[in-house]
Amino acid sequence: MHIDGTAAIVTGGASGLGFATAKLLVENGAKVTIFDMNGEQGLANAAAIGARFSMVNVADDVAVAAALDDAAAVHGAARILVNCAGIAPASRTVGKHHVPHPIDLYRRTIEVNLIGTFTVLSLFAERCAALDDYDGERGVIVNTASVAAYDGQIGQAAYAASKGGIVSMTLPIARDLASYKIRAMAIAPGIFLTPMVAAFSQTVQDALGSQVPHPSRLGQPAEYARLAQHIIENAMLNGEVIRLDGAIRMGPR
């Protein structure tokens, strides 16, 4: 898929991995619309890179459909989707004083990370399926999983389940959409310098980075963005999850 001149949607694009991806796509000529719930930061960062911004709850199918239509009215129908929107709460299955994991927190994590990802990609793919071929395909989807899908740590039951769902649905989605010439891929990042990690002390950041075999540091959002770009441009990448983690395998904690 050629990026230059192509309309793209990046969810969770107000910060972190999503913002780095939106920025790189714009730099390569894409017409980008960012979907995010952080209105103030989203508007400012979108303006800074020359992208559009829509405040969207990715788990709200009505809002997503309307935002996709609004973006298409300005940029034309999107053929590129990168799903980075997500939350990462921590809670043990049974915590201190025998308190169970809050079921609302578990439900919310699945709703945003897994159902939200599927909501956006399914409505995006519906619109792509009606488009003409462009360079032999109609669209490409890049979802964001996590190494937690494979190496979930203490307190990550909900998060790991949500990301494991993204891993598991990658191949069937690619198979579902193959007849429409729409590809579906996922990236499973390791420990990256996202806003959440950046809020930690430098000592904590260094400790986290030292767990990575090589390179022994935190991943940079731009490295995620470059992999997303390669997936978009390489037509043979389909139905697979790529770990982007410096060979880390997470321990229990």
pLDDT digits (tens, 9 = 90+) for 57-88: 999 999 999 999 999 999 999 999 999 999 99
The whole domain housing 98 covers 7-244
Dihedral (CA of 9, 224, 165, 106) sign: negative
Stated pTM of the model: 0.96
Q: What is the pLDDT of residue 40?
A: 96
134 included as an active-site residue: no
Look up tokens 């731009």; give the residue.
222
Residue 250 included in any domain: no
Confidence of residue 151 (pLDDT cuts 50, 70, 90): very high
Say which of 106, 134, 150, 159 is annotated catalytic. Answer: 159
Residue 249 included in any domain: no
Residue 19 included in any domain: yes
Residue 54 included in any domain: yes
Number of structural domains (the chain) is 1
Q: Indicate the average pLDDT of the chain.
A: 96
Where residue 179 sits, what CATH number does that domain have?
3.40.50.720
Residue 156 included in any domain: yes
Residue 75 included in any domain: yes
Residue 1 included in any domain: no
Q: What is the pLDDT of residue 198?
A: 84
